[in-house]
């Protein structure tokens, strides 16, 4: 597995269990030795958890657009 930016791009798939077994194992190996990526993972997990509890209709339109834009940029790179 590559460097930290490569890892961060895979976090969504890692959390959702969508990585092939070899990539999943390599990512876990990286996380075992990289506290920075563990912090990113925990932040991502917390954000996903919070957002799942909030109904989309409860968010102001501008915030919905900002969040979608952020997620699109992060997940599609």
pLDDT: is 76 or 58 the higher one? 58
Q: What's the number of domains the chain is made of? A: 1
The CA distance from 34 to 69, in Å, is: 28
Within 13 Å, how many C-alpha atoms sit on residue 46's CB side? Answer: 6
The CA distance from 46 to 36, in Å, is: 15
How much is the pLDDT for 57?
A: 66
Range of the domain at 11: 4-75
SS (H, E, C) 20-31: CHHHHHHHHHHH
Percent of the chain at pLDDT exceeding 90 = 31
The CA distance from 9 to 29, in Å, is: 16
The CA distance from 21 to 33, in Å, is: 19
Q: CATH number of the domain that 28 lies in?
A: 1.10.10
Q: What is the mean pLDDT of residues 5-25?
A: 88
Residue 76 pLDDT greater than 60, yes or no:
no
Query: How confident is residue 77, by pLDDT bands cut at 50, 70 and 90?
Result: very low
Query: How confident is residue 23, by pLDDT bands cut at 50, 70 and 90?
Result: very high
């Amino acid at each position: 597995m590559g460097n930290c930016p490569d890892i961060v791009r895979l976090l969504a798939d890692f959390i959702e269990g969508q990585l092939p077994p070899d990539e999943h194992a390599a990512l876990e190996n990286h996380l075992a030795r990289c506290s920075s990526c563990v912090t990113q993972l925990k932040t991502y997990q917390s954000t996903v958890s919070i957002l799942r509890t909030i109904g989309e209709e409860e968010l102001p339109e501008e915030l919905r657009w900002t969040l979608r834009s952020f997620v699109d940029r992060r997940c599609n790179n």
